[in-house]
């Protein structure tokens, strides 16, 4: 009991004494765990959205479509009782292309006429609102997201003359959006291609009542189609069923090919999401490594100190463990909350994919993984110094100043020819190579991501879809804009983390070079020179990082985008590199200045104590 109290007291004292450092470590672990949370949440979203949606909406195994004149389908109904079919819904009238007008914008959609009762096959799942009724329209979620439609808003459907047939008076009718839903039934490519030879790869889909659909089909003057959703006894045999029953009047799509097509559509965003979450994870890891690494050195000394005053290794280890665990768990909790709050920011576009099952939830396994990661960090941060200090004799652990700085013979020789801030900066930078490497990596990742984003924005892409080669790119293309938004959000997160990293590194450098800096000042360098020196030291490692980031970004873009881009414009590359360096300089100046302003007398006094 008394021991536990002692452990807590010692741990609390130590934390309070190194407050800034503890706060930084907390921040780093929070960043890492938040990233992990978002990453895990994203993984759930993008891993198999189609299957999830299919299960949720009684998705059809085969969708059959027949182009027909008013009066009804001719061959479709025969499929209802074909061999192997165990259930069906439809045929439903599909009116297209129908104009949907909201907020003065008009977009082409398909309107499917549905019964108000639930269908046994392909019953779209409502995300919000209710199912179709008189004067009401249910909008497919990706379309609703795209147009920013909410339940209760009103839209107009009908023919506004965009698609060839002249619009007559009263050809647009007012509907109220009563619900938003998702479905696993994609229309066969023939319909999609007919609708948008070069545009949006999937036509927007809305559901209305049967009578409303008939009315819309009448006014739009285009072709009619009927669609029939089939459930087979053997879902795996769907492709065979399709081959067996396809005629030039009826076209069929198996759920397998629908799944593949849905995959195509998500793949762009999915790639962005995954790549970005990897990059974020790497950056967060870098900052944790930086801080824990620096802290471990200090810990080693502290273990020696505690041992010297008679604490047993067990007590010492419990103090350390208590401290680190408290930090790590607090950080994990914070990280989970932040990650959970932040994930809609990332996943909203993902969730609006055709077939996405809904917003990711924090499940038990995610929480467990995040906490386990934080605890692992704490354990490493405890046992490495504990073991190291236990192995060393007490005297050595005590005497060991934090890791001996390295002697960079070349940099010392070269730097003596440079002006004072560079002279000192180069020497500061060469003292800790691992740290310089880590910060260079952090900058390289950031610049790489920025370059990749830049290329994405600058270039036009062609994505092969089932509907043919689809030109993907440029503002105005909704899918492109969605992808760009995702990228922007991630880029902001990435840059924020990189900047935090830059501050960590500078702070660690300032702490570490305290003595050298105080000494330089005692020997007559001004605080300004020392501040500049620390900034220069950071820039020295950021510079190669930034340059390495450019080819890294291009490579990343090629790999993630799976195609060869044209060269990015040199001007924007230079701008990215320069801006990054300026940002690093500006950010590091703050901790550097704080460090350079410390009282020389006090630092030197503390070093002898």
Q: How far is the CB of 389 from another protein (least distance, A)?
A: 21
Q: How far is the CB of 405 from another protein (least distance, A)?
A: 5
Tokens of 133: 């009724």
Q: How far is the CB of 295 from another protein (least distance, A)?
A: 21
Q: How far is the CB of 49 from another protein (least distance, A)?
A: 56
In Å, how far are 291, 401, 547, 595 from 601, measured between CA atoms? 27, 20, 40, 13
Cα separation, 51 vs 441, in Å, equals: 38
Q: How far is the CB of 592 from another protein (least distance, A)?
A: 15
Which residue, 189 or 529, has its beta carbon nearer to another protein? 529
Specify burial of residue 227 (Cβ count, 10 A radius: 0-12, 13-18, 19+).
buried
Q: What is the 3-state secondary structure (H, E, C) of 173-221?
A: EEEEEEEEEECCCCCCHHHHHHHCCCCCCCCEEEEEEHHHHHHHHHHHC
Q: How far is the CB of 437 from another protein (least distance, A)?
A: 18
In Å, how far are 350, 490, 549 from 565, measured between CA atoms? 25, 22, 17
Q: How far is the CB of 283 from another protein (least distance, A)?
A: 30
Which residue, 361 or 412, has its beta carbon nearer to another protein? 412
Cα separation, 521 vs 601, in Å, equals: 10
Cα separation, 205 vs 97, in Å, equals: 10
Q: How far is the CB of 367 from another protein (least distance, A)?
A: 46
Q: What is the 3-state secondary structure (H, E, C) of 98-115?
A: EEEEECCEEEEEEEEEEC
Closest CA to 136 of 153, 119, 124, 123: 153
Q: How far is the CB of 426 from another protein (least distance, A)?
A: 12
Cα separation, 203 vs 294, in Å, equals: 55
Which residue, 196 or 301, has its beta carbon nearer to another protein? 301
Which residue, 214 or 519, has its beta carbon nearer to another protein? 519
* Residues shown for the chain: 609
Which residue, 344 or 527, has its beta carbon nearer to another protein? 527
Which residue, 5 or 417, has its beta carbon nearer to another protein? 417
**C-beta separation of 68 from 224 below 8 A:** yes
Which residue, 477 or 520, has its beta carbon nearer to another protein? 520
Which residue, 248 or 608, has its beta carbon nearer to another protein? 608
Q: How far is the CB of 12 from another protein (least distance, A)?
A: 23
Q: How far is the CB of 452 from another protein (least distance, A)?
A: 39
Tokens of 32: 């890492």
Q: How far is the CB of 544 from another protein (least distance, A)?
A: 22
Which residue, 367 or 590, has its beta carbon nearer to another protein? 590
Which residue, 98 or 541, has its beta carbon nearer to another protein? 541
Which residue, 524 or 570, has its beta carbon nearer to another protein? 524
Residue ranges that bind another protein, judged by CB under 8 A: 401, 404-408, 412, 416-417, 420, 423, 427, 431, 515-516, 519-529, 599-601, 604-605, 607-608
Beta bridge partners of 128: 180
Cα separation, 292 vs 284, in Å, equals: 12
Alpha helices in 68-177 (DSSP H): 76-79, 141-147
Closest CA to 114 of 129, 97, 95, 128: 95
Provide CB contacts within 8 A for 154, sequence distance 6+: 174, 175, 176, 177
Question: What share of residues in the chain are helix, strand, coil (percent, to 5)?
Answer: 65, 15, 20
Closest CA to 99 of 174, 179, 6: 174
Which residue, 314 or 433, has its beta carbon nearer to another protein? 433
- Residue holding tokens 């979203």? 45
């Amino acid at each position: 009991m008394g021991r536990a109290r002692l452990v807590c007291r010692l741990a609390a004292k130590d934390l309070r004494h190194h407050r800034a450092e503890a706060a930084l470590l907390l921040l780093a672990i929070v960043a890492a765990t938040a990233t992990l949370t978002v990453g895990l949440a994203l993984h759930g979203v993008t891993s198999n959205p189609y299957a999830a949606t299919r299960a949720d909406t009684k998705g059809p195994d085969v969708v059959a479509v027949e182009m027909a004149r008013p009066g009804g389908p001719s061959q479709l109904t025969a499929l209802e009782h074909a061999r192997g079919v165990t259930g069906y819904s439809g045929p439903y009238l599909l009116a297209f292309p129908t104009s949907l007008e909201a907020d003065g914008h008009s977009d082409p959609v398909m309107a499917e006429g549905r019964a108000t009762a639930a269908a046994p096959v392909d019953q779209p799942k409502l995300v919000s609102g209710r199912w179709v009724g008189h004067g009401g329209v249910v909008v497919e979620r990706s379309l609703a997201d795209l147009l920013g439609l909410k339940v209760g808003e009103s839209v107009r459907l009908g023919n506004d003359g965009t698609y060839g047939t002249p619009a007559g008076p009263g050809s647009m009718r007012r509907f109220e959006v009563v619900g938003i839903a998702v479905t696993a039934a994609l229309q066969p490519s023939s319909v999609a291609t007919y609708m948008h030879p070069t545009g949006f790869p999937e036509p927007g889909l809305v559901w209305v009542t049967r009578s409303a659909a008939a009315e819309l089909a009448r006014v739009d003057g285009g072709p009619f189609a009927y669609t029939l959703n089939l459930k087979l006894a053997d879902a795996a045999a769907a492709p065979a069923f399709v081959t067996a029953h396809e005629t030039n009047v009826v076209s069929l799509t198996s759920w397998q090919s629908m799944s593949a097509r849905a995959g195509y559509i998500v793949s762009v965003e999915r790639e962005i999401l995954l790549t970005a979450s990897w990059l974020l994870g790497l950056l967060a890891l870098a900052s944790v490594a930086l801080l824990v690494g620096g802290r471990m050195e200090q810990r080693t000394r502290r273990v020696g100190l505690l041992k010297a005053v008679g604490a047993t290794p067990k007590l010492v280890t419990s103090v350390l463990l208590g401290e680190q665990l408290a930090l790590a768990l607090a950080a994990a909790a914070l990280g989970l909350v932040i990650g959970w709050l932040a994930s809609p920011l990332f996943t909203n576009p993902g969730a609006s994919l055709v077939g996405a099952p809904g917003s990711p939830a924090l499940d038990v396994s995610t929480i467990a993984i995040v906490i386990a990661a934080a605890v692992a960090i704490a354990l490493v941060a405890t046992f490495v110094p504990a073991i190291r200090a236990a192995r060393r004799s007490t005297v050595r652990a005590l005497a060991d100043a934090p890791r001996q700085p390295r002697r960079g013979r070349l940099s010392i020789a070269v730097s003596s020819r440079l002006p004072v801030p560079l002279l000192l900066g180069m020497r500061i930078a060469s003292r800790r190579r691992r740290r310089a490497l880590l910060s260079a990596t952090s900058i390289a990742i950031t610049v790489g991501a920025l370059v990749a984003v830049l290329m994405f924005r600058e270039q036009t892409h062609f994505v092969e879809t089932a509907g043919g080669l689809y030109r993907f790119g440029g503002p105005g293309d909704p899918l492109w804009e969605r992808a760009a938004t995702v990228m922007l959000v991630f880029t902001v997160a990435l840059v924020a983390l990189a900047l935090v990293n830059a501050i960590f590194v500078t702070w660690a450098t300032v702490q570490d070079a305290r003595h050298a800096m105080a000494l330089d000042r005692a020997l007559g360098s001004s605080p300004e020179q020392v501040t500049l020196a620390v900034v220069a030291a950071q820039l020295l490692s950021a510079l190669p990082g930034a340059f390495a980031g450019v080819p890294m970004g291009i490579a990343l873009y090629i790999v993630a985008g799976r195609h060869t881009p044209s060269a990015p414009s040199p001007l924007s590359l230079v701008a990215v590199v320069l801006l990054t360096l300026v940002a690093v300089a500006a950010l590091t100046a703050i901790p550097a200045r704080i460090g350079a302003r410390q009282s020389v007398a006090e630092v030197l006094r503390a070093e002898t104590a």
